[in-house]
Amino acid sequence: MDFPFFAKNKTFRPKKKFESGTMRFNLHKKAQASLNSGLDLKVVVKLPAEEDFNDWLAVHVVDFFNRINLIYGTVCEYCSADTCPIMSGGPRYEYMWMDGEKYKKPTALPATDYINKLMDWVEQLINNENIFPINTDVSFPKSFVSTCKKILTRLHRVFIHVYIHHFDKLVEIGAEAHINTCYKHFYFFVHEFNLVDSKELEPLRDMIHKICI
């Protein structure tokens, strides 16, 4: 799933990488090899028998962060405070930003500002070794799964915004099939492990039924 298409487009921000030689780097490569083998994505996302769930989750959260960065990078020039004055997924869904620090209450923001803050927030979390430990002899925190659920839920909102408000641009530049495959991988993973609440998936319900079910 390392599409050449994305390589020639600007990235939204630098990719997060696992250090070569580490167990999670090897697990990442194993997951990538499965994806590239053409196996059914529903099968690919299942936890390998010998692997720890938290390791599997960590690898996928980082991978989805990187891929969604690339996806948004293909349309971010068309997403501005003028074109997208609110972070939304169609007329029925609006997302407000809250990080518990600068934004202590849900705050309406233009989509581009929301997504920038979202990506900064995720980047800080996945680079925090107390949350995403690098060494396998360091345990994941007890809150790790709930933190990942929150990350994946918010990253899914980027998919929603891009699909609903910028899909015409994706079609125009020939990226539709690639984005659909990225989304299917994301959907099957979060569905397999119940990581994103069904109500968060609702804005893309019709598309999910079309390409995933």
Q: Is 84 annotated as a binding residue?
A: yes
Residue 21 has φ and ψ, to the nearest 5°, of 95, -15
User: Which residue, among 196, 195, 185, has the nearest Cα to 54 in the 3D structure?
Assistant: 195
Q: Are 29 and 36 in contact (CB under 8 A)?
A: no
Alpha-carbon distance 161 to 163, whole Å? 6
Query: Spelled out in words, what is the top-level CATH class assigned to the domain 4-11+38-211?
Result: mainly alpha
Residue 65 C-alpha from the chain's centroid: 4
Residue 29: predicted pLDDT: 61
Residue 137: predicted pLDDT: 80
Residue 38: predicted pLDDT: 60
pLDDT in tens, the chain (213 residues): 444 444 444 445 555 555 655 555 555 565 565 555 566 889 889 998 888 899 899 989 988 998 898 899 889 999 999 999 999 999 999 999 999 889 999 999 999 999 999 999 999 998 898 999 887 788 999 999 999 999 999 999 999 999 999 999 988 988 888 899 899 999 999 999 999 999 999 999 999 999 987
Residue 205: predicted pLDDT: 94
Residue 27: predicted pLDDT: 55
Residue 105: predicted pLDDT: 96
Residue 173: predicted pLDDT: 86
Residues 6+ away with beta carbon under 8 Å from 207: 163, 183
Q: Is 191 annotated as a binding residue?
A: no
The whole-model pTM stands at 0.85
Alpha-carbon distance 198 to 137, whole Å? 35
Residue 51: predicted pLDDT: 85
Q: Are 201 and 159 in contact (CB under 8 A)?
A: no
Residues 6+ away with beta carbon under 8 Å from 37: none
Residue 26: predicted pLDDT: 57
Please, what's the b/e burial string for 175-191 (b: 16 or more CB within 10 A of its CB; e: otherwise)? beebbbbbbbbbbbbbb
Both tokens assigned to 136: 């396998």
